[in-house]
Chain A
Amino acid sequence: MAPETNTATDTMTNDPILKVEHLSMRFGGLMAINDLSFEAQRGEITALIGPNGAGKTTVFNCVTGFYKPTMGMISMRQASGKTFLLERMPDFEITRDAKVARTFQNIRLFTGLTVLENLLVAQHNTLMKASGYTILGLLGLPAYKNASAASIELAKHWLEKAHLIERADDPAGDLPYGAQRRLEIARAMCTGPEFLCLDEPAAGLNPRESLALNELLTGIRRDTGTSILLIEHDMSVVMEISDHVVVLEYGQKISDGTPDHVKNDPKVIAAYLGVEDEEVEEVIEEIEEIEEGGKH
């Protein structure tokens, strides 16, 4: 799937759905993100990786309106050409109007609601409009009945994709862990997003659940064309499904390109092996020597 080149940008069709430019986020004295710029291409899976504390989740929180960035611009361009400046919008409008959805590192389902209800909550805005803000819905108007049936159809579609259809009427809190992860993604998809942000979807999954997740994600990209931004520590997931990888360390971008490019980037290797700053140069030289040696 991934193009076999070392440089990333030249092979991509340049149609970014999300553009992050000069993003900085400061918490008191801590610069969590420092002048970060990257792009996520439409229809691709972009992975955001980096050691713990690199600022990956902070980027997500800025994109989805949890935090207001200290500086910088985050623009999202829909397929229709409409552009939204996400850093200026309140959180619910980012989902409702800009069509960005997200999941969290820790599962945040509505555990007291049933599985199906979790998916219907995500379609609240459509249903509210169709039901004339509940008033017409109470009178049982056909327009509302149709919208209601359509919303259940959509929910069923995603339940099937996530292999959860038999558990539709169980409380969401009763599902096993891996199923809850898939339900979260299904719920995010029910908001009808063009851009989906997933924060460590594979965390805590066993290999089989991890495989089911890969399948769900590639299925989403293939069938709906939804662009995905992914934070992940599980390299088997990252290398397997992503088209483009952005590596962060200490709030700065250290590498950006295809999975193969990033895998061989000495800076990335240094960051992951935890080498001291002064030694980075040495590591780079060593790697270069090895590469030179290989060529001769």
Chain B
Amino acid sequence: MEYFIQQLVNGLTLGSIYGLIAIGYTMVYGIIGMINFAHGDIFMLGGFAALIIFLVITSIFVGLPVVILLLIMMAAAMLTAALWNWTIEKVAYRPLRGSFRLAPLITAIGMSITLSNFIQVTQGPRNKPIPPLVSSVYNVFGISIALKQIIIVLLTVILLTVFWYIVNKTSLGRAQRATEQDRKMAALLGIDVDRTISITFIMGAGLAAVAGTMYLMYYGVAVFSDGFIPGVKAFTAAVLGGIGSLPGAVIGGLLIGLIESLWSAYFTIDYKDVATFSILAIVLIFKPSGILGRPEVEKV
């Protein structure tokens, strides 16, 4: 039983990271109907930005409190990732808006490869380790819960709440939802559609960067290829939760995290990805719009 709960805790942590990345996929898909395959690499890039700022800060100010250090790392990662994602949207996706559907998809794959190669060339292909930042572990009824796990889950809950509020209650969110439904009409009501889309990319990148920083803190390493597998898993999470839905993305992320850690705990770890994607396939057969997705009903 303890072992099971321990795995739940681990799965929840991993799932939170997937969920944070998945929100970016789901928001971008929601507003312009394209899958930003470079999003996983934005997450990886955020991790690297956090790593670099960590090395810089710790070499200048020795003995800085960990909380402040983490906040600076997150801020730097968010800024860098947002700048990259904004640029990518501007140079690679915007000119192709209104082109045939596959064009932005292919470009997105191209941007993904570009980003991971850029990091490989500039940062080197090897794993980059950092010393553990947060190492306290609490023992609750025989289950060990690390402080970093608590931080990750809490941060996910807070960020989901904030983003849910922005999308559902603020004028920016209304503009995003209006743009999603009818871009031309939104423009005719005075909404700067291009800017709204840019802001969406910036918001998604910010979350991916937080996830990147958390990933770095949790595993203690960053490597250029990190963007791919977590990126695909997060995309899966977004689809599983119902693409376009923010809470759906996080629920999907948690589910995938749980499936992965429980499978690894009770069966063979080599097949954990097979298990994850099989469950995705099964869910989509019975519920094609995902867990929280609205089925599209066409009125005739």
- Which residues does A use to contact B, with CB under 8 Å? 64, 66, 90-92, 94-96, 101-102, 104, 108, 110-113, 117, 120-125, 127-128, 131, 133-134, 137-138, 187-188, 191
Contact = CB atoms under 8 A, between A and B. Distances in A.
5 contacts: A108-B185, A128-B171, A137-B171, A138-B166, A191-B189
Nearest to A113: B177
A98 to B, nearest CB: 10
Nearest to B174: A121
Given A120-B171, A131-B170, A138-B170, A92 B185 contact: no
A125 B177 contact: no
Interface of B: 162, 165-166, 170-172, 174-175, 177-178, 181-182, 184-193
Contact of B181 (A95, A101, A112, A124): A112
A112 B30 CA distance: 13
A156 B170 CA distance: 18
A128 B162 CA distance: 17
Nearest to B203: A134
Given A92-B191, A131-B172, A134-B171, 10 more contacts: A66-B184, A91-B187, A95-B187, A110-B181, A110-B182, A113-B178, A121-B175, A121-B189, A128-B175, A191-B190
Contacts of A120: 171, 174
Contact of A113 (B170, B181, B190): B181
Given A92-B193, A113-B181, A138-B162, A102 B188 contact: yes
Contacts of B182: 108, 110
A83 to B, nearest CB: 19
A102 B181 CA distance: 18
Given A124-B171, A128-B171, A138-B162, A95 B178 contact: no
A108 B181 CA distance: 10
Given A64-B188, A110-B182, A113-B181, A124 B174 contact: yes
Contact of B178 (A94, A96, A121, A134): A121
A116 to B, nearest CB: 10
Nearest to A100: B188
Contacts of A66: 184
B177 A112 contact: yes
Contacts of B184: 66, 91, 108
Contacts of B174: 113, 117, 120-121, 124
Closest 4 CB pairs of A and B: A127-B171, A95-B190, A96-B190, A92-B187
A110 B185 CA distance: 9
A94 B191 CA distance: 10
Contacts of A133: 172
A188 B189 CA distance: 7
B177 A110 contact: yes
Nearest to A127: B171
Nearest to A147: B171
Nearest to A151: B171
Given A108-B182, A121-B175, A124-B175, A134 B170 contact: yes
Contacts of A102: 188
A263 B69 CA distance: 78
A137 B170 contact: yes
